[in-house]
Amino acid sequence: MKVLIVGSGGREHALAWKIAQSKTITEVIVAPGNAGTAQEAKVHNIPIDPLAIEDLLGLAKREDIYLTIIGPEAPLAAGIVDRFHAAGLRCFGPTQAAAQLESSKAFSKDFMQRHNIPTAAYQTFTELNAALDYVADQSFPLVIKADGLAAGKGVIIAQNIAQANQAIINIMRDDAFGQAGQQIIIEEFLTGEEVSFIVMSDGEYILPLVSSQDHKARDNGDQGPNTGGMGAYSPAPIMTPELHQQVLTDIMIPTIHAMRDEGHPYTGFLYAGLMISATGQPYVLEYNCRFGDPEAQPMMLRLMTDLVSLCDAALNHQLDKIQAEWTEQTALGVVLACEGYPGDYPTGEPIKGLSEHNNIPFGKVFHAGTTLAKDQVVTQGGRVLCVTALGETVEQAHQNAYQALQTITWPSIYFRTDIGHRAIAREQTDSQ
């Protein structure tokens, strides 16, 4: 049986690597994939864009694909799952209507308000002047968000009125995010610690996956511009069993039940980006209708259960009948990026020192923005690799990952040296 994975990032390499371990799977096709998926046993790439839905459907039919898994949000928001289901094909992910939880922040905020799911207070605006009038007498910081998908760039934290006005004008008048900015959300700034809560859902039941935390800021000490994520680890020590249960009861279960009741049953990975307040209360910052990247890399390293059997259970509406097994160890991934990311960065730089890392002790080098130029792996994106390792503690996983990445280099390599710092500090306090 063959599996098709749509996407080209580190998340898709991690999913493909895990799926390829399934005994029932003979072949994994990744569209379009990267140099890592090109070199993985049982896996190969086919160069089709994730938004070329008809071409992907043609491929799935021609190759007699048993199961398709969608990595990124854009094809989900464009309705790829609806199209595959209409053609009678098995595709794991939410429908276009269900993916609105991510593709429209106005939809998700109104949804949370309707169902008493804890989130920051907010207002929605479609008129430039109304938005400018509103911020005139607000206190700061204030968070300004474009409604639609903006590749992770549509959230601005305004520290004062000048920044707020600038952001509103950029989005609403100057169309910085195109269509995505026709509507904006202005919301209360929440403080606390962010954590990723990712589950699988079959429309009715939830299978919670293990906790994880990523580092969104580009630089050490969680400073600098927001990125897609510079590193992640699992489990996140902040997610105590009590908090885990509270998030399920107050957020994830009501979300899945309300989506079902509103006529958009949600099947797929559902990722809630949470802020845990100083008093330990969870608030939803955003929903993502897909797996996290780079959270997938450490989480897939810990998953012991066959991922195909989990997707099968979800597509058969039987998630209540299956458990997922995980190693007790911590996994930690460090993203190796290019200098300049999340802005402009060079591409095409040869990566040295990779071959001896194909099988690092206790871990795995997952590729993201890489491609093959003849037989040489070269950089192609802002986030290039995610070096991921296991350890008995977060600190040990951190040491193993940093040791493993030592010999990997290219001219514009850039990475944080403190991935896991909050969890390591928490471990040290707990052990005293």
The distance of closest approach from Cβ of residue 61 to ligand AMP in the complex, given in angstroms and rounded to an integer, is: 35
Strand partners, 65: 2
Residue 155 contact among ligand AMP, ligand GLY, none, beta carbon within 5 to 8 Å by kind: ligand AMP
C-beta closer to ligand AMP: residue 217 or 258: 217
C-beta closer to ligand AMP: residue 142 or 210: 142
The distance of closest approach from Cβ of residue 273 to ligand GLY in the complex, given in angstroms and rounded to an integer, is: 7
C-beta closer to ligand GLY: residue 288 or 329: 288
Report which of 216, 217, 221, 218 is spatially closest to residue 339, judged by C-alpha positions.
218
Q: Which residues bind ligand AMP (CB under 6 A)?
A: 120, 143, 145, 155, 187-190, 194, 216, 226, 273, 285-286
Residues 6+ apart with CB under 8 A from 76: 70, 93, 94, 96, 99, 102, 103, 268, 289, 290
231 binds ligand GLY (CB under 6 A): no
C-beta closer to ligand AMP: residue 49 or 194: 194
The distance of closest approach from Cβ of residue 375 to ligand AMP in the complex, given in angstroms and rounded to an integer, is: 38
Residue 286 contact among ligand GLY, ligand AMP, none, beta carbon within 5 to 8 Å by kind: ligand AMP
Look at the alpha carbons of 37, 43, 47, 53 in this order and tell me if their dihedral is positive or negative. Answer: negative
**What is the bridge-based pairing of β-strands 193-202 and 267-276?**
antiparallel
* Cα 30 to Cα 109, 168, 381, 401, 414, distances in angstroms: 33, 39, 17, 26, 27
Look at the alpha carbons of 377, 225, 108, 131 in this order and tell me if their dihedral is positive or negative. Answer: negative
Report which of 32, 134, 36, 378 is spatially closest to residue 20, judged by C-alpha positions.
36
Residue 229 contact among ligand GLY, ligand AMP, none, beta carbon within 5 to 8 Å by kind: ligand GLY
Stretch that binds ligand GLY, among 98-106, 235-243, 246-254, 285-293 (CB under 6 A): 285-293
Q: What distance in Å separates the CA atoms of residue 358 and residue 250, rounded to the nearest whole number? A: 42
The distance of closest approach from Cβ of residue 272 to ligand AMP in the complex, given in angstroms and rounded to an integer, is: 10
Residues in the chain: 432
C-beta closer to ligand GLY: residue 14 or 98: 14
Residue 143 contact among ligand AMP, ligand GLY, none, beta carbon within 5 to 8 Å by kind: ligand AMP
Residue 134 contact among ligand GLY, ligand AMP, none, beta carbon within 5 to 8 Å by kind: none
Strand partners, 414: 337
The residue sitting closest to ligand AMP, measured at its beta carbon, is 286
C-beta closer to ligand AMP: residue 3 or 77: 77
Q: What are phi and psi of 31, to 5 degrees?
A: -125, 115
**DSSP secondary structure of 159-226:** SSHHHHHHHHIIIIIS-TTGGGGSSEEEEEPP-SEEEEEEEEEESS-EEE---BEE--EEEGGGEEEE
Residue 51 contact among ligand AMP, ligand GLY, none, beta carbon within 5 to 8 Å by kind: none
* Cα 324 to Cα 23, 207, 292, 320, 327, distances in angstroms: 17, 8, 18, 11, 10
C-beta closer to ligand AMP: residue 223 or 429: 223
227 binds ligand GLY (CB under 6 A): no
Q: Which of residues 291-330 bind ligand GLY (CB under 6 A)?
A: 292-293, 295
Residue 293 contact among ligand AMP, ligand GLY, none, beta carbon within 5 to 8 Å by kind: ligand GLY
Does residue 128 contact residue 168 with C-beta atoms inside 8 Å? Answer: yes
Which token pair is 382? Answer: 């802002």
Q: What distance in Å separates the CA atoms of residue 35 and residue 21, rounded to the nearest whole number? A: 19
C-beta closer to ligand AMP: residue 121 or 425: 121
Which token pair is 255? Answer: 């979300």
Q: What distance in Å separates the CA atoms of residue 269 and residue 197, rounded to the nearest whole number? A: 10
Residue in 7, 229, 265, 363 binding ligand GLY, rule: CB under 6 A: 229
7 binds ligand GLY (CB under 6 A): no
Q: Which of residues 163-202 bind ligand GLY (CB under 6 A)?
A: none
Report which of 278, 367, 385, 263 is spatially closest to residue 12, judged by C-alpha positions.
367
288 binds ligand GLY (CB under 6 A): yes
Question: How many residues of this chain interact with ligand GLY, rule: CB under 6 A?
Answer: 7
The distance of closest approach from Cβ of residue 214 to ligand GLY in the complex, given in angstroms and rounded to an integer, is: 4
Report which of 325, 328, 400 is spatially closest to residue 365, judged by C-alpha positions.
400
C-beta closer to ligand AMP: residue 281 or 347: 281
Residue 422 contact among ligand AMP, ligand GLY, none, beta carbon within 5 to 8 Å by kind: none
* Cα 24 to Cα 12, 44, 326, distances in angstroms: 19, 17, 20
C-beta closer to ligand GLY: residue 103 or 288: 288
Residues that bind ligand GLY (CB under 6 A): 214, 228-229, 288, 292-293, 295
